Amino acid sequence: MSEMYANRRTRLREQYSAAGHAAALVSRPANVRYLAGPAPHGAVLLLGRTADLLLCPGPPEDRPTEGRPDEALRVQYLTAGQGDPAVAAADFAAGQGADSLAVEEHHLTVARHREIRSVAPRLRTADLGGAVEQQRVVKDEEEISCLRIGAEIADQALGELLESILVGRTERHLALELERRLVDHGAEGPAFPTSVATGPNSGRRAHRPTDRRVEEGDFLSVCLGATYRGYRCEIGRTFVIGTSPADWQIELYDLVFAAQRAGREALAPGAACRDVDRVTRQVLDAAGYAGGLPSLTGHGVGLEIDEDPQLAPAAMGKLDACVPVTVEPGVHLPGRGGVRIDDTLVVRPEADGGPELLTITTKELLAL
């Protein structure tokens, strides 16, 4: 494990050194975790020419965490009076004679940045940009294995829910029950707030559960995910409550299913992200659902639930092998409800069997 973290840091070091910087300060939590392992909340990582330092706020007691950072790292806990770890890191880098420091300008606030400059006025700061996020896009098999286990956990939790009685229960309760089952099956927690949407709420992206109860004839859409060793996956399904779905429900379901399948089938190394979005969206557009469509039809997952790449009309770039993404089109008809179908898949070359589906719960329209 330690070697893996060291390799990741070496790749980053090569990058910022090539850009002429003596040191880099990584502050975005998921990036710190990627390079240093599980670290206390608020920790920052300082990469120097040679030695690396993890600076953590407060005494160890105050900042518990699951797991421990990479043992090869020097770890320093600040005492209460020592302030912001990012500022302390810049001070340390300046003390070591560094003349330039690359920082994550998309994460550091203006106020922290100013404090860094006042503590270390001779240290030139530059933008590290999304260098670590870029490195995180393509996953190794260790990371994919965490996502795969997380997906299995989510499939299990969802499967158990489907065997229970649903009519009369509220969205809130169903969401809580799913989250309990995720943890039962070994998740660290939900990967994001579990969404359960019934009747007119169904099909809405990231719907927050309400006190509405499941009724006969409802669409029920559910979106959940497990966090396993820090990695977050996502699955979304829509069901119909009662013995016989209405015609409009079957039609809408078939349409979203067709759109989602088109997206899944378009996943391949070298495929443009916008093309995957387009083939998904086209199916819905052609049926007259152009308006009100979500701004994206899928996104990367990993240490965060919403990572690069985005599958969206304006997305740049192409997919690589070993990139896990969601494919999650949906249609919501105001006042009536709708359908969302959401899988997590890993992009794989044709020779390896094509996209690997991690979330394997059936996508048949189940009447519950």
Element (H, E) at 108: none
CB of 66: closest distance to a second copy in angstroms? 6
For residues 167 and 183, which CB has a smaller minimum distance to a second copy in the complex? 183
CB of 164 to a second copy, least distance (A): 15
Would you tell me how many other CB atoms lie within 10 Å of the CB of residue 241?
Answer: 20
Would you say 45 or 322 has its CB closer to a second copy?
Answer: 45
Q: Is the peptide bond before 200 cis (omega within 30 degrees of 0)?
A: no
CB of 291 to a second copy, least distance (A): 9
Q: Are strands 189-190 and 226-228 parallel, antiparallel or unpaired?
A: antiparallel
Distance of CA 233 to the CA centre of its chain: 7
Q: Is 145 exposed, middle or buried (0-12, 13-18, 19+ CB in 10 A)?
A: middle
Residue 25 CB, nearest approach to a second copy (Å): 12
Closest separation between CB of residue 181 and a second copy, Å? 10
Q: Are 188 and 270 contacting, i.e. CB atoms less than 8 angstroms apart?
A: no
Name the residue nearer to a second copy (CB basis): 208 or 213.
Answer: 208
Closest to a second copy by CB, 79 vs 243, is 79
Q: Between 74 and 180, whose beta carbon lies closer to a second copy?
A: 180
Instruction: Give the residues lining the site for a second copy (CB under 8 A).
Output: 58-59, 61-66, 79-81, 103, 105-114, 127, 172-173, 176, 179-180, 183, 204-208, 292, 294-296, 312-314, 332
Q: Between 207 and 232, name the residue whose CB sits nearer to a second copy.
A: 207
| DSSP secondary structure code for residue 62 in this structure | G
Give the C-alpha separation, 305 to 156, whole Å. Answer: 19
CB of 124 to a second copy, least distance (A): 14
Q: Which amino acid appears at position 222 of this protein?
A: V
Which residue's CB is nearer to a second copy, number 112 or number 139? 112
First to last CA, the chain: 44
Q: How far is the CB of 74 from a second copy (least distance, A)?
A: 22
Rounded distance between C-alpha atoms, residue 222 and residue 335, angstroms: 18
CA 67 to chain centre: 20
Q: How many angstroms separate the CA atoms of 21 and 76, rounded?
A: 23
